[in-house]
């Protein structure tokens, strides 16, 4: 996997899962579907991992087992595919992954487009303000220290942040990132809502296929992509195995919102849990997507405001220094 995933790569991944969803929903087997996609993949770089995947499947392994040693897909994708295999609803899981990557690509493009102007403005400010002193002194090393000496550490921090927040890392790493991002306004809530949406979708598919409730919750929690949800579900497994209902376990865990707990309990009591989980999936997907889009819109605006403040401060500082020099000269 690349160090940093771009919007184009998100789109290619979405197209792969979209094709798999279409082919498998039409009754074509996974092996035939993969062979067909390999002939004309969304990206040329997909041919080699697709061939390795077909080789693993030819040895008799399941799709999730075949994907595991390749290191090609993030843990979230693998968990959701495993849930799809258990439930017999691989096409629905492929469709969910296609929508997930399409949305990530759209948000990434929106953020990049909105960031262009404030980023250009920031670079102009970094290069222009020290230029007057460089013009007078001709000291190139000092000018480079005041420009690239500021920009290079910023580039490094941004690259590290992008790399750290991608979903290809192990669960311990993702758990730390999740705990760091959770307190961030809008973004933390958006990520949690989307994780609950994926959990509800996977859980509905597994329960509808007749998978044992304990195993279904375990697989669905892994498919949610949230280490915190996975840990919460693993913690209550002994109590549920001893007779506690999942609705009681959910209600006792603060990580599950009150509305989620109440709706799940009503679905459990009424015998319409599958319908309730579909509703929870739609509800939290819409809420999470709305908040994520809001965060993507407001982040560039806040950055632009900060850049404008920096420029205003530099302008005021320049004129104050100029007037101080005039005042000092007038005393002689």
Q: What is the pLDDT of residues 39-77, one digit of tens each?
A: 989 989 899 999 999 998 998 888 888 888 887 887 778
Neighbours of 193 (CB within 10 A): 22
pLDDT confidence of residue 90: 87
Mean pLDDT within 179-204: 88
CATH number of the domain encompassing residue 36: 1.20.81.30
Burial label for 330, CB within 10 Å (0-12, 13-18, 19+), is: exposed
Distance CA 257, CA 279 (A): 15
pLDDT confidence of residue 113: 83
Question: Is 279 part of any domain?
Answer: no
Mean pLDDT within 262-291: 91
Q: Average the pLDDT over each of 27-36, 41-50, 176-185 and give the range with the smallest value.
A: 176-185
pLDDT confidence of residue 1: 47
Burial label for 102, CB within 10 Å (0-12, 13-18, 19+), is: middle
pLDDT confidence of residue 80: 80
168: pLDDT strictly greater than 70: no
204: pLDDT strictly greater than 90: no
Mean pLDDT within 10-26: 92
Pick left, alpha or beta for residue 68 (phi over 0 → left; psi -120 to 50 → alpha; otherwise beta): alpha
Angstrom distances, CA of residue 161 to CA of 75, 230, 248:
19, 24, 38
Distance CA 135, CA 127 (A): 12
pLDDT confidence of residue 37: 93
- Is pTM beyond 0.85 here? no
DSSP characters over 123-156: HHHHHHTTHHHHHHH--HHHHHHHHHHHHHHHHH
Question: Is 114 part of any domain?
Answer: no
Task: Answer with the residue of higher pLDDT: 165 or 145.
Answer: 145
Neighbouring residues of 151: CB distance < 8 A, sequence distance ≥ 6: 123, 126
Phi first, then psi: give them for residue 165, nearest 5 degrees. -90, 5
For residue range 313-326, list pLDDT tens digits in order.
877 777 777 677 77
Question: Is 58 part of any domain?
Answer: yes
Show the DSSP H helices in the chain as ranges.
7-25, 30-39, 47-58, 63-67, 75-87, 90-128, 131-137, 140-164, 171-181, 187-208, 213-223, 227-241, 246-251, 258-270, 273-330
Question: Is 195 part of any domain?
Answer: no
Question: 13: domain range?
Answer: 7-98
Query: 157-163 — which CB contacts under 8 Å span 24+ positions?
Result: 159/4, 162/4, 163/3, 163/4
3: pLDDT strictly greater than 50: no
Q: Average the pLDDT over each of 50-59, 120-129, 139-148, 251-260 and give the range with the smallest value.
A: 120-129
Confidence of residue 17 (pLDDT cuts 50, 70, 90): very high
2: pLDDT strictly greater than 60: no
How many separate domains does the chain show?
A: 1
Confidence of residue 18 (pLDDT cuts 50, 70, 90): very high
Question: Is 92 part of any domain?
Answer: yes
4: pLDDT strictly greater than 60: no
Question: Is 41 part of any domain?
Answer: yes
pLDDT over 90, % of the chain: 21
Question: Taking the CA of residue 22 as centre, how many other CA atoms within 13 Å lie in the half-sphere pointing to its CB?
Answer: 10
Question: Is 164 part of any domain?
Answer: no
pLDDT over 70, % of the chain: 95
Question: Is 149 part of any domain?
Answer: no
332: pLDDT strictly greater than 60: no
């Amino acid at each position: 996997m690349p160090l940093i995933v771009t919007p184009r790569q998100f789109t290619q991944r979405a197209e792969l899962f979209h094709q798999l969803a279409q082919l498998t929903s039409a009754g074509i087997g996974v092996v035939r579907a993969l062979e067909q996609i390999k002939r004309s993949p969304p990206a040329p770089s997909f041919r080699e991992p697709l061939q390795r995947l077909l080789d693993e499947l030819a040895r008799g392994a399941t799709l999730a087992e075949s994907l595991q040693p390749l290191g090609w897909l993030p843990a979230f994708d693998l968990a959701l595919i495993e849930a799809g295999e258990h439930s017999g609803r691989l096409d629905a899981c492929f469709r969910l992954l296609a929508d997930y990557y399409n949305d990530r690509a759209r948000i990434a493009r929106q953020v990049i487009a909105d960031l262009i102007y404030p980023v250009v403005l920031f670079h102009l400010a970094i290069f222009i303000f020290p230029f007057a002193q460089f013009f007078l002194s001709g000291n190139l090393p000092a000018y480079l220290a005041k420009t690239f000496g500021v920009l290079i550490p910023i580039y490094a921090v941004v690259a590290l942040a992008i790399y750290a927040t991608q979903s290809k890392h192990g669960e311990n790493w993702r758990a730390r990132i999740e705990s760091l991002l959770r307190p961030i306004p809008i973004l933390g809530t958006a990520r949690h809502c989307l994780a609950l949406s994926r959990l509800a979708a996977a859980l509905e598919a597994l329960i509808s296929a007749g998978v044992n409730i304990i195993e279904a919750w375990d697989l669905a929690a892994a498919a949610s992509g949230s280490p915190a949800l996975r840990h919460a579900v693993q913690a209550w497994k002994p109590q549920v195995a001893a007779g506690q209902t999942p609705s009681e376990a959910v209600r006792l865990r603060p990580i599950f919102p009150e509305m989620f707990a109440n709706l799940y309990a009503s679905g459990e009591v009424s015998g319409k849990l599958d319908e309730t989980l579909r509703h929870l999936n739609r509800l939290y997907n819409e809420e999470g997507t709305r908040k994520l889009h809001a965060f993507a819109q407001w982040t560039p605006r806040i950055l632009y405001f900060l850049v404008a403040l920096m420029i205003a401060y530099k302008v005021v500082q320049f004129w104050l220094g100029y007037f101080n020099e005039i005042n000092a000269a007038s005393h002689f």
